[in-house]
Amino acid sequence: MKDRIFLKVMVAVDVLLLSCVVLAVVYFSKRSSNIQPEVLGTQDVVEERLEEFTVPICNQGKCMWLSSESVVLEGIVDRNAVYQRVLTQVIPYFEQNYGGKTAVQNRAGSFVYWKEDYIPNLSNIFDDVYRAFVSKEDDYVEVSIEDLPGTDGRYAPRYIEVDNSKQKLYVWVNGVVQKEILLSGSKVGYEVYGVFPIVDKGEAPIAPTGDYMPYWMAFYYSPKQEAWYGLHGLIWWYDDDGNKEYEPESNIGVRRSGGCIRMLVEDAKYIYDIFEKGDLVLIHE
């Protein structure tokens, strides 16, 4: 009898021990499954991202560098910090090193424009610099120098910019150049600079010389000429036999007028249809 009781106790102990072993195996196997395997180099990558670095912003090898200090915080690029750096460091750098800007003013207003004809294209500079900080594999920004308008399109919802040095006109609408037009502008000594509202329009008024001015838009009265300056198409007139004679298109690009700004007739019609009295003409050298 005692032997049977002893045997039962031993079997119960063995079952209990076996259960404990099984539970222990299950417990530690679950714990080991939650432990991530070590990946060589992971810590180095994290430390590298947290290290200070610089972004070069260049044109043909001539560069400035922006530090990530105060721009990248705990691996996150602060867009506002990038914007402030671009505004206070990048743009002034390129203005100083690539011709700079100046202002022109008259009674009707003033505006700022680039002094050189070929200037840095900074239209996407904020996005380009931001992307360079985000992507360290492509942390280089190249700024191109291009033939661009002197103003930036923000002076008014729509206006005409006349660049005398290039004999070119830009049609600005909502901050975008809708058309570039080649000109035949005023001879040296007859040009005017500043902001001029369009004061009158006419499809083909007659100049004091007897010539017809297609799609004429007056913007300035010259006491010296005792006449209005205007934007208009190449002139035409009647010869002695009553036949129409037209100013040659080869005059475009050459300063020939005593104050008016001429262009191809189709270009004059284009701006005539867009602009009204009160719209502005900005003229600079």
Each residue's pLDDT tens digit, 178-224: 999 999 999 999 999 999 999 999 999 999 889 999 999 999 999 98
The pTM assigned to this predicted structure is: 0.79
* Model confidence band, residue 32 (pLDDT cutoffs 50, 70, 90): very low
> How many domains does the chain divide into?
2
Whether residue 253 is found in the same domain as residue 194 = yes
Does the pLDDT at position 275 exceed 70?
yes
Print burial letters for 232-242: b (CB count within 10 Å at least 16), e (below 16).
bbbbeeeeeee
Does residue 38 belong to any structural domain of this protein?
no
Whether residue 164 is found in the same domain as residue 259 = yes
Q: Which two tokens stand for residue 177?
A: 């150049």
What is the mean predicted confidence (pLDDT) over 70-98?
95
Specify whether the CB–CB gap between 183 and 169 falls below 8 A.
yes
Q: Which two tokens stand for residue 157?
A: 């919802």
32-46, 90-104, 167-181: the lowest-pLDDT one? 32-46
Burial of 269 (0-12, 13-18, 19+ CB in 10 A): middle
As beta bridge partners, residue 218 has 200, 230
Whether residue 110 is found in the same domain as residue 177 = no
User: According to DSSP H, which parts of 203-275 are helical?
Assistant: 265-274
Q: What is the domain extent for residue 178?
A: 158-284
Question: What is the reported pLDDT for 50?
Answer: 55
Phi, psi of 108 (to 5 degrees): -85, -15
* Model confidence band, residue 45 (pLDDT cutoffs 50, 70, 90): very low
What is the mean predicted confidence (pLDDT) over 136-159?
95
Q: Which two tokens stand for residue 24?
A: 């222990």
Does the pLDDT at position 146 exceed 90?
yes
Contacts of 37 (CB under 8 A, 6+ apart): none
